[in-house]
């Protein structure tokens, strides 16, 4: 009879989950024993980097990903980055090794105490099988739970001696299971949405990450052009669902109540698709909407729909619904919008660039289908001003507030898309949270171009000190970090640049090569 381990690998194989991201400990060794040759184990040096790499890979590939962490300690190390996976709807099947089953409850060394509760409420579902024979079925349930709408991370703790046990004969049925979900919205639902959009005098669209995840960007463009609708991206975007070069693009909505109220005040019907209503961050209270503004909320996430404080919600597949709306909405005769004007750059200083210079230079040099992974929080405005995001799947960023996603996620995105080049634009504060992923990039020769914007401070926090009027507070500066030396220590070639011409030359060299490169771009904070 096959072992629990063998049938689990076959189950993962049937689901196409043959790339495993992990950082193992003693509790995981029996799972890794006789590791199949058709599987690829991507080692990360820290569990936070492991989860972020897997997250990037899952988002870019659109497939569920298996993650292998070490007991409670390793799980805890990965949970900071896991906060992003929740809101990006990343289908991660995270596993961790539990101590020997006979010792559960004694809290021996490396026990995963109350394992099923450890990752809640971050994970969509979590479990520890009640007996060895139930491990394969639990893993099967985890895969389906991770991928069913709305996708998200799940967690399974497995006692490590279970892997060697014989699998029950009935586990063979698991690999043959198939789950089909509804892929088309109802006629009644689409008729309501079409009536609202066709009857709108001044419609607008607010698009979220699920539009890009379902590769419905083209339908969003088609719908916006038919309506002549202004288009915003939902606050704090983790993906880019609409070309930011399009004349109808109005930018990223601010993450506070009153600013969104003001931005949408001139519109009578606003369709929010593939995003929550809304994920606020900064506190600027007021009425949610201006009088006469109606919000229609399209989502396939029951949690988003249930917790929204306003709007008429439609629980339906985002991509399929946008396609039907784009095909059936009455096209209007609206004047063409003027092309987006070029933005002026901020002034560079001696031995330090304005962030505008960095992003504008990257946009000038990078290939047209470049993929950006951005975690430079304080320079978000400069990023959106100067980059050109045209192709689907061209932008990934943290979906929550935890740092450490960007640098390792770029490695995962590049592994999923070897045919495209990935540029990771990372703040110096953020970089330190995921820096160990440079080792994985070097070890596997993953050709990410890492651009570290080094201004020696936590710029986002400095802006908050102004907004909250806290004055100078401790812990805001991180000076004198030499990222070139750090990169070289991990095996990645690096260079430091302080001006536009140096940056251009460094980028040309990076894109001409096929190995990872780190460029430390010296900037300043305004």
Query: Residue 440 sits in a domain of what CATH number?
Result: 3.40.50.970
The region of weakest confidence among 99-113, 315-329, 414-428 is 99-113
The region of weakest confidence among 16-20, 292-296, 522-526 is 522-526
Q: Is 47 a catalytic residue?
A: yes
Q: Taking residues 488-504, report their average pLDDT.
A: 97
Q: Which is the catalytic residue, given 16, 26, 508, 513?
A: 26
Do residues 162 and 260 both lie within one domain? Answer: no
Supply the pLDDT for residue 472.
78
Supply the pLDDT for residue 110.
86
**Over 90: is that where the pLDDT of 273 sits?**
yes
Do residues 232 and 320 both lie within one domain? Answer: yes
The region of weakest confidence among 334-338, 387-391, 503-507, 510-514 is 334-338
**Over 80: is that where the pLDDT of 338 sits?**
no
Q: Is 299 a catalytic residue?
A: no
Is residue 345, in this structure, part of any structural domain at all?
Answer: no
Domain boundary residue, one of 176, 211, 234: 176
Establish whether the linkage from the previous residue to 494 is cis, with ω within 30° of 0. no
Supply the pLDDT for residue 482.
96
Cα–Cα distance, 222 to 212 (Å, whole number): 14
Q: Which is the catalytic residue, given 16, 281, 292, 508?
A: 281
Is residue 143, in this structure, part of any structural domain at all?
Answer: yes
Is residue 59, in this structure, part of any structural domain at all?
Answer: yes
Supply the pLDDT for residue 459.
64
Cα–Cα distance, 505 to 1 (Å, whole number): 60
Q: Which is the catalytic residue, given 15, 70, 297, 386?
A: 70
Do residues 169 and 244 both lie within one domain? Answer: no
Supply the pLDDT for residue 257.
95
Q: Taking residues 398-407, report their average pLDDT.
A: 88
What percentage of the chain reaches a pLDDT higher than 70?
96
Domain boundary residue, one of 328, 344, 366: 328
Do residues 323 and 429 both lie within one domain? Answer: no
Is residue 347, in this structure, part of any structural domain at all?
Answer: no
Cα–Cα distance, 525 to 376 (Å, whole number): 12
Could you read off the pLDDT of 228-248 as tens digits, one per residue?
Answer: 999 999 999 999 999 999 999
Mean pLDDT of the chain: 93
Cα–Cα distance, 333 to 409 (Å, whole number): 43
Is residue 456, in this structure, part of any structural domain at all?
Answer: yes
Cα–Cα distance, 525 to 465 (Å, whole number): 14
**Over 80: is that where the pLDDT of 440 sits?**
yes
Is residue 349, in this structure, part of any structural domain at all?
Answer: no
Do residues 40 and 129 both lie within one domain? Answer: yes
Q: Is 456 a catalytic residue?
A: no
**Over 90: is that where the pLDDT of 320 sits?**
yes
Tokens representing 314 are: 């439609």
Supply the pLDDT for residue 178.
83
- pLDDT band at residue 335 using 50, 70 and 90 as cut-offs: confident
- Based on the structure, what is the number of domains in the chain? 3
The region of weakest confidence among 176-180, 393-397, 435-439, 496-500 is 176-180
Supply the pLDDT for residue 465.
66
Q: Which is the catalytic residue, given 16, 218, 286, 401?
A: 401
Look at residue 151 and give its three-state secondary structure: coil
Q: Is 502 a catalytic residue?
A: no
Is residue 105, in this structure, part of any structural domain at all?
Answer: yes
**Over 90: is that where the pLDDT of 174 sits?**
no
Tokens representing 79 are: 């949970």
Find out whether 31 and 37 touch, Cβ atoms under 8 Å. no
Is residue 484, in this structure, part of any structural domain at all?
Answer: yes
Place of tokens 């990257």: 362
Look at residue 207 and give its three-state secondary structure: strand
Do residues 171 and 246 both lie within one domain? Answer: no
Q: Is 56 a catalytic residue?
A: no
Cα–Cα distance, 95 to 27 (Å, whole number): 11
Distance of CA 450 to the CA centre of its chain: 17
Q: Is 89 a catalytic residue?
A: no
Q: 166 or 469, which is more confident? A: 166
Do residues 363 and 500 both lie within one domain? Answer: yes
Supply the pLDDT for residue 230.
97
Pick from 122, 150, 154, 123: nearest CA to 141: 154
- pLDDT band at residue 379 using 50, 70 and 90 as cut-offs: confident
Cα–Cα distance, 361 to 499 (Å, whole number): 10
Pick from 298, 297, 387, 407: nearest CA to 48: 407
Q: Which is the catalytic residue, given 22, 25, 393, 427?
A: 25
Cα–Cα distance, 276 to 273 (Å, whole number): 8
Do residues 171 and 191 both lie within one domain? Answer: no
Q: Is 25 a catalytic residue?
A: yes
Do residues 156 and 208 both lie within one domain? Answer: no
From the number of C-beta atoms within 10 Å of its C-beta (0-12, 13-18, 19+), residue 347 rates as exposed
Could you read off the pLDDT of 345-364 as tens digits, one per residue?
Answer: 888 899 999 999 999 999 99
Do residues 145 and 247 both lie within one domain? Answer: no
Q: Which is the catalytic residue, given 15, 22, 28, 434?
A: 28
Q: Which domain holds residue 393?
A: 355-522
Residues in the chain: 526
Could you read off the pLDDT of 455-482 as tens digits, one per residue?
Answer: 876 666 666 666 777 777 776 677 789 9
Do residues 18 and 163 both lie within one domain? Answer: yes
Read off the CATH number of the domain in which 266 is found. Answer: 3.40.50.1220
Domain boundary residue, one of 148, 176, 204: 176
Supply the pLDDT for residue 118.
94
Could you read off the pLDDT of 32-76 as tens digits, one per residue?
Answer: 999 999 999 999 999 999 999 999 999 999 999 999 999 999 999
Do residues 408 and 287 both lie within one domain? Answer: no
Tokens representing 487 are: 């990169």
Q: Which is the catalytic residue, given 15, 44, 47, 412?
A: 47
Establish whether the linkage from the previous residue to 310 is cis, with ω within 30° of 0. no
- pLDDT band at residue 101 using 50, 70 and 90 as cut-offs: very high
């Amino acid at each position: 009879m096959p072992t629990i381990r063998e049938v689990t690998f076959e189950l993962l194989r049937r689901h196409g989950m043959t790339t495993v991201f992990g950082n193992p400990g003693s509790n995981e060794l029996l799972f890794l024993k006789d590791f199949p040759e058709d599987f690829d184990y991507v080692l990360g040096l820290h569990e936070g980097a492991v989860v972020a790499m897997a997250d990037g890979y899952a988002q870019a590939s659109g497939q569920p990903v298996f993650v292998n962490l070490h007991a409670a300690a390793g799980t805890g190390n990965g949970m900071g980055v896991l906060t992003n996976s929740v809101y990006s709807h990343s289908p991660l099947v995270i596993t961790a090794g539990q101590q020997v089953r006979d010792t559960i409850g004694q809290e021996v060394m490396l026990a995963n105490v109350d394992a099923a509760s450890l990752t809640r409420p971050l994970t969509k579902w979590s479990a520890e099988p009640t007996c060895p024979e139930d491990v394969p079925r639990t893993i099967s349930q985890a895969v389906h739970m991770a991928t069913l709408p709305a996708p998200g991370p799940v967690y399974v703790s497995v006692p490590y001696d279970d892997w060697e046990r014989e699998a029950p004969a009935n586990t063979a049925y698991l690999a043959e299971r198939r789950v089909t979900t509804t892929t088309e919205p109802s006629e009644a639902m689409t008729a309501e949405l079409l009536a609202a959009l066709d009857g709108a005098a001044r419609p607008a669209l607010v698009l979220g990450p699920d539009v890009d995840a379902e590769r419905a960007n083209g339908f969003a463009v088609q719908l916006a052009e038919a309506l002549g609708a202004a288009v915003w991206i939902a606050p704090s975007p983790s993906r880019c669902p609409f070309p930011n070069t399009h004349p109808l693009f109005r930018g990223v909505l601010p993450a506070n109540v009153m600013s969104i109220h003001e931005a949408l005040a001139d519109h009578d019907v606003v369709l929010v698709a593939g995003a929550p209503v809304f994920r606020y961050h900064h506190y600027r209270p007021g009425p949610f909407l201006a009088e006469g503004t109606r919000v229609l909320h399209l989502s396939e996430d029951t949690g988003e729909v249930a917790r929204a404080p306003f709007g008429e919600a439609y629980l339906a597949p985002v991509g399929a619904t946008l396609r039907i709306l784009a095909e059936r909405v009455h096209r209007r005769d609206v004047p063409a919008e003027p092309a987006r004007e070029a933005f002026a750059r901020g002034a560079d200083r001696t031995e330090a660039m304005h962030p505008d210079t960095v992003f504008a230079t990257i946009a000038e040099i990078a290939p047209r289908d470049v993929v950006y992974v951005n975690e430079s929080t304080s320079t978000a405005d400069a990023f959106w001003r100067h980059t050109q995001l045209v192709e689907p799947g061209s932008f990934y960023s943290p979906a929550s507030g935890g740092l450490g996603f960007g640098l390792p996620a770029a490695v995962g995105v590049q592994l999923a898309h070897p045919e495209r080049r990935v540029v990771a634009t990372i703040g110096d504060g953020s970089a330190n949270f995921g820096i160990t992923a440079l080792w994985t990039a070097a070890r596997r020769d993953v050709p990410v171009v890492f651009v570290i914007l080094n201004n020696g401070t936590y710029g986002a926090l400095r802006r908050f000190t102004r907004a909250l009027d806290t004055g100078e507070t401790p812990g805001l500066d991180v000076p004198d970090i030499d990222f070139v030396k750090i990169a070289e220590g991990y095996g990645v070639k690096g260079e430091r640049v302080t001006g536009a011409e140096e940056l251009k030359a460094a980028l040309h060299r990076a894109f001409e090569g096929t190995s990872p490169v780190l460029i430390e771009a010296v900037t300043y904070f305004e």
